[in-house]
Amino acid sequence: MPRRPLALLLLALLIPGRSLADDAPSVKDWLADNQKALLGLYTELHEHPELSFQEIKTSERMADELKKVGAEVTTKVGRLGVVGVLKNGEGPTVLVRTDMDALPVTEETGLPYASKAKGVDPRGDEVGVMHACGHDIHMTTFVGTARWLGENKDQWSGTVVFIAQPAEETIGGARAMLDDGLYSRFPKPDFALALHCRADGEVGDVYIRPGPLLASSTSLDVVIRGRGGHGAMPSLTVDPIVLAALAILDFQTIVSREILPSEPAVVTVGSIQGGNKHNIIPNEVKLQMTLRAYSEPVRLQLIEGIERRVKALAEAHKAPAPSVEVREHTPATINDPDLTARVEPLLKKALGDDRVINVDPVMGSEDFALYAQDGVPILMLWIGTISPERIKQAEAAGETLPGLHSSRYHPDPVPSFSTGIRAMTAAVMGLLPPKSDH
């Protein structure tokens, strides 16, 4: 695909009269006038990240921003969620969502505005905190979109519901807001939109697909029990570490031998905890697992396969019964095909045909999927965040670009949030009718 130099991209974004495609002139001009303020917002958010369900200052900032554009703002929805309702006459209701939380990662980018923040994780440990997943870009795009729509109410009619959501990283924020009456206390949306950074995508590009975009995510706690004793006398014990090792190997056959080859699925053991001394066989081993799938039947098949295997191992080795507990779950993010078909040409008009790219799904997960509750059509976009120069340098060196959740990931902010604002305003404006003079 042909690429344009970053300098030309920045000129197109920031200089009136220069464009990559037929974009609304008012959006381009507005970006040129507001670049400095938006960059200031981005760096402030990046320097002061907060962990999941600890986004106190961040949610206050999002609430203040939404109040400034004239939205009716409600705070503490689902603990720390913010809802801003911007009404502007008759028309559909469009929901625009951003996430706010950061990760327990110590930043190693070397940027002048790198985060030095510290936080306390759920275990009570002090950790470095960083926006390593691009949520600061998401929020800057969100605020920029809200500001533009608030300042240009003569161009659209309807209602936009702005959602600043906590705790996306721990898959808890969307559920908390929905359980707190998001779709009953506030206007239920006709459409729900969100975007996410892509760590290997070029700035200026937007990625889209109908149907499955991201997999479901299920977190399991598995406890394999035995009978502890002296490490020198294993015959008097039932060793749960050996059982855990057998189980972990056997889990791999669920995908390779029980799931249809045409159905993507992932079974990963992310944590093993058992024992505390060289010569003691413990009473139990705890496993923490993540399961990924696009379909609900496959997800349930994975859970059943794990339960069946650990129970059979326990019986075969005369061990106490194990336990399998689902800790967290979010469904697959499935972009509504009709909504995707409506929005894709709007993006191409705003950004250029070659900048809107159809992509394959990935096995990552997002709790934005939950906004499809009660039949609401949803659409999540990805935006590229890396300059062509950085991509070429990595390719020339045979290196892989730092991915999301890496301590070294950093987007190129101005072109990233500028593309995000152009994409999101184009989508919202295309879903809402023009303002009537009557």
pLDDT in tens, 187-214: 999 999 999 999 999 999 999 999 999 9
Q: What is the pLDDT of residues 290-312, one digit of tens each?
A: 999 999 999 999 999 999 999 99
Using the predicted structure, report yes or no on whether residue 27 has a pLDDT greater than 80: yes
> What is the average pLDDT across 94-119?
98
User: What is d(CA 418, CA 353) in angstroms, rounded to the nearest whole number?
Assistant: 17
**Cα–Cα distances in angstroms (integers) from residue 427 to residues 30, 166, 433, in the given order:** 17, 24, 12
Give pLDDT, residue 30: 95
Q: Which of 139, 199, 120 is nearest to 417 (CA)?
A: 139
Q: Quickly state the pLDDT bin for 3 (edges 50, 70, 90).
A: very low
Q: What is the pLDDT of residues 148-161, one digit of tens each?
A: 999 999 999 999 99
3-state secondary structure of 257: helix
Give pLDDT, residue 9: 39
Extended strands (E) in 203-296: 206-208, 211-214, 216-225, 229-230, 265-273, 280-281, 284-293
> What is the average pLDDT across 117-138?
97
Q: Where are the alpha helices (DSSP H) in 352-412?
A: 388-397
User: Which distant-in-sequence residues (6+ apart) come within 8 Å of 263 by Cβ?
Assistant: 293, 294, 295, 298
Tally of helices (H runs) and strands (E runs) in the chain? 11, 18
User: What is d(CA 44, CA 99) in angstroms, rounded to the nearest whole number?
Assistant: 16
Q: Which of 244, 312, 318 is nearest to 281 (CA)?
A: 244
3-state secondary structure of 187: coil
Q: Which domains, ranges and CATH numbers included, belong to the chain?
A: 6-214+332-431 (3.40.630.10), 216-330 (3.30.70.360)
**Percent of the residues in the chain that have a pLDDT greater than 70, as a whole number:** 94
Kindly report the number of other CB atoms within 10 A of residue 258's CB atom. 14
Return the structure tokens found at 431: 């879903």
Give pLDDT, residue 437: 56
pLDDT higher at 351 or 4:
351
> What is the average pLDDT across 251-265?
97
Give pLDDT, residue 23: 47
Give pLDDT, residue 196: 98
Instruction: Please classify residue 17 by burial: count the beta carbons closer than 10 Å to its beta carbon, then call 0-12 exposed, 13-18 middle and 19+ buried.
Output: exposed
**Cα–Cα distances in angstroms (integers) from residue 345 to residues 94, 138, 319, in the given order:** 18, 22, 60
Whether the Cβ atoms of residue 113 and residue 216 lie closer than 8 Å to each other: no
Q: What is the pLDDT of residues 369-392, one digit of tens each?
A: 999 999 999 999 999 999 999 999
Give pLDDT, residue 17: 32
Give pLDDT, residue 390: 97
Using the predicted structure, report yes or no on whether residue 16 has a pLDDT greater than 50: no
Query: Cα 90 vs. chain centroid, distance in angstroms?
Result: 32
Using the predicted structure, report yes or no on whether residue 133 has a pLDDT greater than 60: yes
**Percent of the residues in the chain that have a pLDDT greater than 90, as a whole number:** 92
Residue listed under structure tokens 């129970």:
311
User: What is d(CA 350, CA 381) in angstroms, rounded to the nearest whole number?
Assistant: 14
The DSSP call for residue 372 is G
User: What is d(CA 57, CA 394) in angstroms, rounded to the nearest whole number?
Assistant: 36
Whether the Cβ atoms of residue 246 and residue 321 lie closer than 8 Å to each other: no
Whether the Cβ atoms of residue 280 and residue 230 lie closer than 8 Å to each other: yes
230 forms beta bridges with 280
Using the predicted structure, report yes or no on whether residue 21 has a pLDDT greater than 80: no
pTM: 0.90
Whether the Cβ atoms of residue 118 and residue 129 lie closer than 8 Å to each other: yes
Residue listed under structure tokens 């001009």:
29
User: What is d(CA 349, CA 359) in angstroms, rounded to the nearest whole number?
Assistant: 19
Query: What average pLDDT does the structure give for the chain?
Result: 94
3-state secondary structure of 228: coil
Return the structure tokens found at 376: 């609401």
Based on its alpha-carbon atoms, the radius of gyration of the chain, rounded to whole angstroms, reads: 24
Using the predicted structure, report yes or no on whether residue 267 has a pLDDT greater than 90: yes
> What is the average pLDDT across 427-432?
98
> What is the average pLDDT across 352-372?
97
Q: Quickly state the pLDDT bin for 28 (edges 50, 70, 90).
A: confident
User: What is d(CA 252, CA 242) in angstroms, rounded to the nearest whole number?
Assistant: 16
Using the predicted structure, report yes or no on whether residue 6 has a pLDDT greater than 90: no
Give pLDDT, residue 436: 81
The string of DSSP codes covering 103-163 is: BS----S--TT----EEE-TTS-EEE-B-TTSHHHHHHHHHHHHHHHHH-GGG--EEEEEE
Q: What is the pLDDT of residues 29-79, one digit of tens each?
A: 899 999 999 999 999 999 999 999 999 999 999 999 999 999 999 999 999
The DSSP call for residue 274 is -
Return the structure tokens found at 33: 């006038």
Using the predicted structure, report yes or no on whether residue 4 has a pLDDT greater than 60: no
Q: Which of 62, 8, 44 is nearest to 415 (CA)?
A: 8
